Amino acid sequence: MNDEDLLKDVKAKAQAWTQAPHDEQTRHTVRTWLNTCDQDEDAREALIDAFYTDLSFGTGGLRGKMGPGTNRINATTIALATQGLANHLLRMHGAPTSAHPLRVAIACDSRHQSQEFAQITAEVLASSGLEPWLYPELRPTPQLSWTVRELGAVAGVVVTASHNPSIYNGYKVYAADGGQVVAPEDSQLVAEVRALSTDQPVARVQEGIHVLDATWDDRYRDVLASFRLSPDLVANGSDLTIAYTGLHGTGALAVPAALKAFGFRNVHEVSSQAIPDGAFPTVHSPNPEEGAALAEAVALATQVGASIVMGTDPDSDRVGIAVPDGDGFRLLNGNETAALLVDHVLAKWQAAGKLDRPSFVAKTVVTTDLLSELAKGYGVEVRETLTGFKFIAEAIRKEEGKLQYVAGGEESYGYLVGDAVRDKDAVQSCCLLAELAHELDLAGETMLGRLAAIHKRHRAYKEGLVSLVKEGRNGKEEIDAMMKGFRTSPPQELAGETVAEILDFQSREARNTKGEVLRALPQAASNVMQFVTEKGSRVTVRPSGTEPKIKCYASVSASWTDDVSHDEMMNRLQRRVEAHFQALGVR
C-alpha cells in the first residue's frame, strides 16, 4: 500500500474517534490531526502512527504508547480488550452461575492512568456478568499471577508496561493457571477484540466488583517466606546490609515488607525512589537492566556499606543487582544473576532431598546455556522455551504431574523459583538473592567469588545484547527487512567461527549452511533466527515483543582453569562477544 492509500484508510479509521463515545480530549486531538495532516508533516505522521495498525499481544501482552488511536493505549483500547476478553471467557466457559462464577483478578502498577484502566477493566467485566476482583491500589505483577490461582479465577489482568519508559502502558492477560495467555488462546482473544468496533460504546457497570483487601498481601508474603532455604536465616534472621530501590513502582510497597518477612532487618531503601510515580522522575528509564537506573541505589549502598544492591522495575517482575567489587560495586547481567540464583536453589533443594523426584529447570533460547550445565550437574532436566516468561509458565503447566519445576530465568532479569507464581517474580527473587548474599557472608565468600566457582566447575560463559531501536511504521518495516535478510541470507561464518547450525524458529527447523534440514525444533513458531558456530557460540536475532526494537544476542563460552585469572578469562570472552556483534553488522 502506498502512502496516499494508507493515509486515506487511516483518515477513514480515525473519523470514528472524533465522535462519542470517545472523550472530548481524544476527539479534539484526532480532529486536529485530521484537519492539519495534509499540510503538517508532523500531524500526518502522528495520525498514521496512531491508526495504521491495531495493538496486538506480544511476549508481554498488549503494550504501547498512551494516547488516541487504535495503535495506542487509551480508555477505548482497554475497554475493547476487556470486552474481547469477556466474550472469549464466556465462549470458553459458558454463562456464569452462582455456583460457578467466572472470577477475574485485576491489578495495576504505578503508571499514569493505570488505576483508571484497571477500574475500566473491572467495570466492563462486571457488565458482562463476570466477577471482577480488583486490587484497589498498585500491586506487583507476580502477586496478580499468584492471586489468579489462589482465587480460582478463570483469568487475570494487570495494567502495566513493565520496564518501558513513562509514555507507555500495557495490559497483560493471564489464564487460569496464572501464566500469561499463550497460543492458541492468545490469537482467539485477539480475534474477539478485533471483531469489536471502536465506534460503539462498551458497556460498563460498577456493581458487582469485589475488592482484594490487605489479607491477600499477607497471604502472598507468607507464600514468599515459605521459600526460605537457609536454616540460619530461618532460625536467626539476618543483619545483612541491603540497599534497595523500587524505582517509583510497586516494589516500593512489596519488596521491603517481603524482605522483612524473610528475616532481613537491615534494609535501606532509596527514599527518593520509594514514592510510586508514573513519571519516574529520578530515572531516564525505570529499567533495572540499565546501570543508570540503579545509580542512586549504588550510591546509597556505598554510604551504608551494603553487601548487595537490588532494584526492581515498576511492576516488580524484573530485578537488577550490584555486588561489591574492590572499592566499588559491579552490576551483574541477567545471565550472571540467573546462574547464581539457580545454583543456590538447586544446591539447597538437593541438600533438603527435594530433588529426589524428577525435576527440571527452565530457560529461554537466548538465556545462558550455563543454566543447562547447572541442571545437568544436579541431575535435573532442562526445558528451553521461546523468549517470554509466559512460555516458561506454559512449560510448567505441561510438565505438571510429571516433572517438578525447580527454577528458571531469562537473560532479561526475570526469575522464578517454584510454581506458586507463574510469571517472573522480582519480589521473590530479591528475597532469595539476599538469602544467598547472607549465606555467602556467613561463609566469608562473595557473589563474584561464587560466580567464578560456578564457571570453574562447569564452563565460563559470557553473553551480550545489542538492541537497535526502530520507532514507528518505518521502524517496523526496517525490522521486518532485517529479519528477512537474516533468514534468506544467513551468515556462513561469524568472527572466524564457522556456522554449524541455523535455527529458524519461524519454520521450526534447524538447518546446515547448505539449507539441509537437520531436525525439527520443539518450540512453537516464532520470528527468531539463531546461528550456532562450531565452537558452540550462539548468535540470535529477534524483534522485541514489547518494544520497537530488534534484539541481537551473543553467547560464548570456554573451559577455564587457573592458567589465567577469572577477570582475564571474562575479558577474553567479552572480546569474542564483541567480535560476533561486529560480524553480524550491529556494532
Q: What is the DSSP secondary structure assignment for residue 181, as one 8-state letter? A: P
Q: Is 162 a catalytic residue?
A: yes
Going through 411-537 in order, the beta strands assigned E by DSSP cover 414-417, 460-469, 493-494, 497-504, 509-511, 517-520, 529-533
Going through 373-486 in order, the beta strands assigned E by DSSP cover 381-385, 404-410, 414-417, 460-469
Grid cell listed for 225: 517466606
Closest residue by Cα to residue 421 from 120, 71, 180, 106: 180
Closest residue by Cα to residue 169 from 105, 212, 123, 116: 116
Strands of the 210-211 sheet, one edge to the other: 62-65, 168-175, 155-159, 103-108, 131-134, 210-211
Say if strands 210-211 and 131-134 run parallel, antiparallel, or are unpaired.
Answer: parallel
Catalytic, out of 128, 162, 238, 412: 162
- Percent of residues in the chain assigned helix, strand, coil, to nearest 5: 40, 20, 35
Helix (H) or strand (E) holding 244: strand 242-245
Grid cell listed for 333: 547481567
Contact call for residues 587 and 578 (beta carbons, < 8 A): yes
Grid cell listed for 69: 488511536
Contact call for residues 91 and 108 (beta carbons, < 8 A): no
Residue 356 half-sphere exposure toward CB, CA atoms < 13 A = 4
Q: What is the DSSP secondary structure assignment for residue 201, as one 8-state letter? A: P
Which residue shows C-alpha cell 510469571?
A: 423
Which residues are catalytic, by number?
162
